Amino acid sequence: MTGSDGTERTLREAISMGKPSIFAEREMLPELVEDGGSGFWVKDSPEELSQATLMFPQDPELRKKMGQAACEKPNENSVWIVKLRQWKYFTKRS
């Protein structure tokens, strides 16, 4: 789940690590999360946020599938995707 950062830095960081996300409808940049594909869009309510949050520990295969989809979703030409590839390259060399 992301906070109130208008740039959605937390969401971008989760995506770069292959983590599925829970996205409240009030937040910006919805193009980063495909509902049911790379995460969940929920109403900004405690009930819906908790229900979505509990799905990941209960279904590890869903969490893995959505995490993989999160990595595949972003635009291949995005600057941050290029930076992620560079980071992955350098961390594999270490």
Q: Does residue 61 register a pLDDT over 90? A: yes
User: Please, which pLDDT band fits residue 51 given cuts at 50, 70 and 90?
Assistant: very high
Torsion angle in degrees (nearest 10) through CA of 36, 68, 31, 24: 50
What structural domains does the chain harbor?
Answer: 9-93 (3.40.50.2000)
pLDDT one-digit tens code per residue, 4-32: 555 677 777 887 788 888 877 765 556 67
Mention every residue, 6+ apart, whose C-beta is less than 8 A from residue 68.
18
Per-residue H/E/C for the chain = CCCCCCCCHHHHHHHHCCCCEEEECCCCCHHHCCECCCEEEECCCHHHHHHHHHHHHHCHHHHHHHHHHHHHCCCCCCHHHHHHHHHHHHHHHC
User: Average pLDDT for residues 64-68, to the nearest whole number?
Assistant: 89
